[in-house]
Structure 1
Amino acid sequence: MTASDAEARGAGQAQHASGVPAARWQRLTRGINLSHWFAQARRYDQAHLRSYITAADLDLIRAMGFAHVRFTLNPALLLDRAAPERLVAEALAEVDRALDLILARELAVIVDLHPEDDFKHWLGDSAEAASIFARFWRALAAHLAARDPEWLVLEVLNEPVIADGARWAAIQRAALQAMREGAPDHTLIASGHRWSSLPELLELEPVTDRNVVYNFHCYDPHIFTHQSATWSMSFLPHLRHLPYPSSPEAIAALLPRIDDPRAREAARVYGEERWNATRMRDWLAQAAAWAARHGVRLTCNEFGVYRVGALPEHRLAWLRDVRSILEELDIGWTMWDYAGGFSVVLDQDGRRVPDVATLAALGLSWS
């Protein structure tokens, strides 16, 4: 066993030095993201907010075996930049209604600020914006503090985009302090800069507050998890049916059919990199080793494979490997997502029904 393996395997023991209560932590070990509801939606009127995710959806999520949901919330719904301490009342009432529905089903909930990129660019542009953000979080945390801290967790910001790690760390520290002032007993979640990926986590210095969980996202290798995606790297729409695990032999037959030179070269490299369970474990073990060194709890609250371009059996193999490795390394997880492009449910005659194969890959069952 190498030193890094020993460190990673000791993560579970070292993490008990954190101030996150054990029962609270257990509720963060298997979850699902509620995307496109209070964030990433085309509209946020009451009709959408009361129909996209319903009590029946939340009952289904509980029945499928998830312990928590990540409630993605666009702060633009609640924030008046001229008066950040005053939360927009109409939207706040809808947020409260949604949280009531979730918590009534004994699902823990991560309240995750999940804005569009223009908000993140604004946040990174000035000290004034960072101050407004902290003041807003203090007010929102104080409002949410009335809810049981055993069941509700607060996450600073999804994928901050900000490229300067030191700048993001300063903004996050101020926000965490404001959140703690508003919610003295609740667990908080912090992440690295840019896209909150594993390399950014490894650059992050934990704060002194021990009731903080640290988070990263895993879409590695990106070329596989986002094949056919239209919102990421420009060549990805030219890729589909990439295999997992990867090897030069597995990719060879696909290369002549890829019409874009950049996409073809990226696929060739992906094959040579030989992504498989062993490589995924080595990759994720770096995160567990970081958590062990710092004595903190760690979660991966986004991971998944875009359904459009991936062959089902390869998508399921990746999900199974990543989920099982996260559990082995004592890293909590929240799959992306419930009913979007990476979903754990299928549409059957207008009804959402469990994708039994995806549940099995997540170590969950349905009967």
Structure 2
Amino acid sequence: MRRRTFLQAATALATFGITGCTAPEGVPADRLARLARGVNMSHWFAQAPFSRATLQSRHAADEFRTLRRVGLSHVRLPLDPYVLFSERNPDRLDPDRLPLLDAALDMILQAGLAVIVDLHPEERFVDRLATDDGFVEAVTQFWRALAKRLSARDPGMIFLEALNEAHFDDPPRWEAVLRRLLAAMREGAPRHTLIASGDGWASIDGLVQLTPVADRNVVYNFHFYEPFEFTHQGATWGYDMWRHYRGVPYPVDAARISAALALIDNPRAREEIRFYGQSGWGAARIEQRLDQAAAWGAQHNVPLTCNEFGVYRLITDPADRIAWLTDVRTALERRRIGWAMWDYAGGFSLTRDGMNDRALDNATLQALGLQATGGLSLPGA
């Protein structure tokens, strides 16, 4: 009964509009332009232990100036809610850590880059949203408070993303939660552009099941890592078979698939890569997948962005990685879909070796259509 009431309330929000606050009619063109090309600043305010030293020193102003100089227009800043959030006092932002977020935003904005503030929790946080209405209410209060705090900043430069990669396996439940979060965000930040994604880890399949909200100042987002057999080979998190994949090529090539199979000793992984060899993945298949997202956006007359895509670098053939990045980036731009690569200095990095060598990788820059540079190496990096 409680869940039915929750869903009915969310349906009412959808019917009458998510808020009584006024917002621009549609997303202003200059804001969409700022979402054109970006990169994710991973392992900073999310995916890393919280410490004042780390939050203060992980990145420097010169890095963001360099990112702007090579042609990026924004960065996506993943924010673990627990940096600022207390379930006991959800509308109170942690006063000790809030200045650290403010300082990071100041540094990025001063470089001329826009910022997506992306609520980027660990899986157990998302799991609770999928099952616990009381927790949804607490997170709703938190987003209202955070949006109100961020509303003092230029709405043309700060974007607010409701949640990273919901995976409820229940699209109606996620849509109900999403509408509540967006309503609270709009109440806190009446003029800012919001970003929403579908269920299924922000997949295209999840996107096309969404019904857009009445608020027109919302950008709809998806993530793209297909085919995972290629982009996540060697990864030690997520799906267990990824760690067994070796030598997986892009685009698919029969001779190279045979060579890959000789490197893989796990029977199930071998079978999956054998099947991948029959999939036809290449530029045309990528175009077809992105056409599904573009068609949904056109049907609903809403703007789209893809603010995660990339290839794990550990064992992937560098030339294949560059080919995939080039194909995805050019396909997105042909459809006027803004993008943000995952990530700046982690396992998928725009830099030459994650945080160990923060010189920008020229081949990756060229694949993204950016200006090649000698890069930036910080003292002690």
TM-score per shorter chain, which class?
over 0.9
The answer for the alignment partner of 1:245 in structure 2 is 251
Structure 2 CA distance for partners of 1:186 and 1:349, relative to 1, 3 Å: closer
Quote how far apart the aligned CAs of 1:348 are.
9.8
The structure showing larger relative contact order (alpha-carbon pairs under 8 Å, at least 6 residues apart) is: 1
Mapped contact 1:280–1:321 kept (Cα < 8 A): yes
The answer for the alignment partner of 1:7 in structure 2 is none
SS in 1 for 2:42: strand
The equivalent position to 1:152 in structure 2, one of 150, 158, 162, is 158
The answer for the alignment partner of 1:173 in structure 2 is 179
Task: Give the counterpart letter for 2:47 in structure 1.
Answer: Q
Tell whether 2:283 aligns with 1:310: no
The equivalences for 1:290-301 within 5 A come to 290-301=296-307
Q: What is the distance in 1 between the residues matched to 2:38 and 2:93?
A: 28
Quote how far apart the aligned CAs of 1:129 are.
0.8
The answer for the alignment partner of 1:38 in structure 2 is 45
The equivalences for 1:120-139 within 5 A come to 120-139=126-145
- Residues 239-261 of structure 1: CA distance to partner in whole angstroms, max 9, x if unpaired? 12211001334312221331001
Structure 2 residue runs of 5 or longer lacking an equivalent are 1-23, 374-381
Mapped contact 2:26–2:217 kept (Cα < 8 A): yes
The equivalences for 1:342-353 within 5 A come to 342-347=348-353, 351-353=357-359
The answer for the alignment partner of 1:331 in structure 2 is 337
After alignment, is 169-178 or 350-359 more displaced?
A: 350-359
Report the RMSD for the aligned CA atoms in angstroms: 1.4
Tell whether 2:118 aligns with 1:116: no
- Residues 260-280 of structure 1: CA distance to partner in whole angstroms, max 9, x if unpaired? 011111111111001010111
Task: Give the counterpart letter for 2:39 in structure 1.
Answer: I
- Residues 52-111 of structure 1: CA distance to partner in whole angstroms, max 9, x if unpaired? 122122122112211000010000111111111111111111111110111111100000
SS in 1 for 2:78: strand
The equivalences for 1:222-237 within 5 A come to 222-237=228-243
The equivalent position to 1:20 in structure 2, one of 11, 27, 44, is 27
SS in 2 for 1:161: coil
The answer for the alignment partner of 1:107 in structure 2 is 113
Q: What is the distance in 1 between the residues matched to 2:357 and 2:252?
A: 35
Quote how far apart the aligned CAs of 1:190 are.
0.3
Quote how far apart the aligned CAs of 1:347 are.
4.0
Mapped contact 2:345–2:355 kept (Cα < 8 A): no
SS in 2 for 1:253: helix
Tell whether 2:190 aligns with 1:184: yes
After alignment, is 19-28 or 80-89 more displaced?
A: 80-89
The equivalent position to 1:320 in structure 2, one of 323, 326, 335, is 326
TM-score of the pair, normalised by structure 2: 0.90
Task: Give the counterpart letter for 1:160 in structure 2.
Answer: A
Quote how far apart the aligned CAs of 1:236 are.
1.3
Task: Give the counterpart letter for 2:31 in structure 1.
Answer: R
Q: What is the distance in 2 between the residues matched to 1:240 and 1:343?
A: 19
SS in 1 for 2:220: strand
Q: Percent identity?
A: 52
Q: What is the distance in 1 between the residues matched to 2:260 and 2:353?
A: 30
Q: What is the distance in 2 between the residues matched to 1:349 and 1:194?
A: 30
Mapped contact 1:191–1:216 kept (Cα < 8 A): yes
Task: Give the counterpart letter for 2:140 in structure 1.
Answer: A
Mapped contact 2:37–2:340 kept (Cα < 8 A): yes
After alignment, is 352-361 or 342-351 more displaced?
A: 342-351
The answer for the alignment partner of 1:5 in structure 2 is none
Tell whether 2:231 aligns with 1:221: no
The answer for the alignment partner of 1:10 in structure 2 is none
Structure 2 CA distance for partners of 1:246 and 1:152, relative to 1, 3 Å: same
Structure 1 residue runs of 5 or longer lacking an equivalent are 1-16
Structure 2 CA distance for partners of 1:234 and 1:349, relative to 1, 3 Å: closer
TM-score of the pair, normalised by structure 1: 0.93
The answer for the alignment partner of 2:17 in structure 1 is none
Q: What is the distance in 1 between the residues matched to 2:369 and 2:358?
A: 20
Q: What is the distance in 1 between the residues matched to 2:355 and 2:128?
A: 42
Alignment coverage as a number of residue pairs: 350
- Residues 91-143 of structure 1: CA distance to partner in whole angstroms, max 9, x if unpaired? 11111111011111110000000011111112222111111111110000000
